[in-house]
Amino acid sequence: MKRLTNVYDRNELAALRSRLRSRGVPTYVGFRRFTVDAFALFVCVDAQYEDALALIRDPHHVVARPVDPQLWEQAVGRASLVSVLKGALLALVVLVILAFAARALLGGHA
């Protein structure tokens, strides 16, 4: 992800995101450090960085390789779910190992 710009107004942020999304450019919003008034707007697909900047400057710019926003959001959602499940499985394995270690240290049978 590459940062496109900082935005200080929620309405402007919503308008920019809508314009970019409608042209096939998925974005991500993060907060600027040390302030909650500013939002950092990122392009999700690095290859679309130049197109995204051009589209911010010119609402009529034609994006070279647009992405289907619904497919993008579905793919990101699936990837997030997989990451959460992997993290939960890892935590479970660690807990099982700790339980066996504690039991062994306390003189129980493993």
Residue pLDDT, tens place only, 69-89? 888 777 776 656 556 666 667
Report pTM: 0.64
Q: How far is CA 25 from the centre of its chain?
A: 14
Asked if 40 contacts 32 with a C-beta cutoff of 8 angstroms, the reply is yes
* Helix-, strand-, coil-residue percentages of the chain, each rounded to 5: 55, 15, 30
Q: Which two tokens stand for residue 33?
A: 């450090």
- Spatial distance between the Cα atoms of 74 and 33, rounded to a whole number of angstroms: 29
- Spatial distance between the Cα atoms of 43 and 25, rounded to a whole number of angstroms: 7
Residue pLDDT, tens place only, 9-54? 989 999 999 999 999 999 988 876 656 678 899 998 899 999 999 9
Of the CA atoms within 13 Å of residue 84, those in its CB half-sphere come to 6
User: Within a 10 A sphere around the Cβ of 76, how many other Cβ atoms?
Assistant: 13
